Structure 1
Amino acid sequence: MGGKSYYCDYCCCFMKNDLNVRKLHNGGISHTIAKTNYMKSFEDPKKILDEERKKTPCKRYFGGYCKFEMYCKYCHYSEKELQELEKLVLAKKKANSKKRKKSTKWPWKTHTQKGLPISLQPIQLARLERTNFELSWG
């Protein structure tokens, strides 16, 4: 393939740019764990908090190393990290409740008399007669 190499964003490693090599790598456990770790960062904090509160702390992880990482059935969050996650969930909940209160079904009703934007209101003939069409443009 001419010396080109493939870079895996999840694992941060280079490999030969060959279809069979990439398939083998993408099917491996280390790549699967790295991809799961990355995708877990986009999950809903409330869901993560609920799942982690149910688990007991992992002795291997807090002892130094747990080979199962995200597939471990025990909790890998310290009590301090769980409290920070809880604060994040509460902040997100407050932000969502503020958004609901501010939004209205028809935002233009507060800006015009008839409840429609000016472009959608019926044409007013009196206003049209007062318009000067003989302006020069440009």
Structure 2
Amino acid sequence: MGQSYFCDYCGCYMKSDVNVRKLHNNGISHTVAKYRYMRRFDDPAKILSEERLKKPCQRYFKGYCKFDLYCNYGHYSEQELKKLEKLVAAQKKSKSRRRKPKKWPWKTHHHAGLPPSLRPMELAKLKTSNFELNWG
């Protein structure tokens, strides 16, 4: 029995053949499913600004738009846009509350906080070192 290939974006199985997979991956349903998945990782502020510029899609709100997320018109309802606005506001608020990181100790105490192996070399001590030691 032949192997089958599972598309994670579309959630479907197909014959594990290069030509079949290429045909599937170039199809509109796969492209939309992949775009929808990747859109989850976009910045909400970016999505909000893009969607605010679009007019509402009449086809989508009547029930079906074949262009889905590639449509030139907006597919977000007013309620969804308000939720997105709240999310963006919450993100901005949490970013403003973040504390500044503490300064590293060696930047204020002239390398005192560094372990000896990471401190800069002192050339005066290096000149007085005896490298003529017998090891082992």
Identify the TM-score tier after normalising by the shorter chain: 0.7 to 0.9
Going from structure 1 to structure 2, the CA distance change for 1:22 and 1:37 (only over 3 Å counts) comes to same
2:115 paired residue number: 120
Give the superposition deviation at 1:107: 5.2
- The root-mean-square deviation of aligned C-alpha atoms, in Å, is 2.2
Matches of 1:43 and 1:117 in 2, distance apart? 43
Query: Is 1:45 matched up with 2:44?
Result: yes
1:106 paired residue number: 103
Matches of 1:64 and 1:117 in 2, distance apart? 68
Going from structure 1 to structure 2, the CA distance change for 1:15 and 1:53 (only over 3 Å counts) comes to same
Aligned amino acid, residue 39 of structure 2: K
TM-score, normalized by length of structure 1?
0.75
Runs of at least 4 residues of structure 1 off by over 6 A? none
Alignment of 1:88-107 (within 5 A): 88-99=87-98, 102-104=99-101, 106=103
Going from structure 1 to structure 2, the CA distance change for 1:34 and 1:74 (only over 3 Å counts) comes to same
1:76 paired residue number: 75
Matches of 1:27 and 1:97 in 2, distance apart? 43
Matches of 1:44 and 1:26 in 2, distance apart? 25
Give the superposition deviation at 1:114: 4.5
Q: Which runs of 5+ in 1 are unaligned?
A: 123-138
Identity of aligned residues (%): 57
Contact conserved, 2:105 with 2:113, CA < 8 A, in 1? no
2:132 paired residue number: none
1:18 paired residue number: 17
What whole-Å deviation, never above 9, does each CA across 1:80-131 have from its counterpart, x for those lacking one? 10000000001111111112xx12351558xxx9487856389xxxxxxxxx
TM-score, normalized by length of structure 2?
0.76
1:7 paired residue number: 6
Going from structure 1 to structure 2, the CA distance change for 1:120 and 1:23 (only over 3 Å counts) comes to same
Going from structure 1 to structure 2, the CA distance change for 1:107 and 1:90 (only over 3 Å counts) comes to farther
Aligned amino acid, residue 62 of structure 2: G
DSSP 3-state at the match of 2:48: helix
Number of residue equivalences: 116
1:62 paired residue number: 61
DSSP 3-state at the match of 2:75: coil
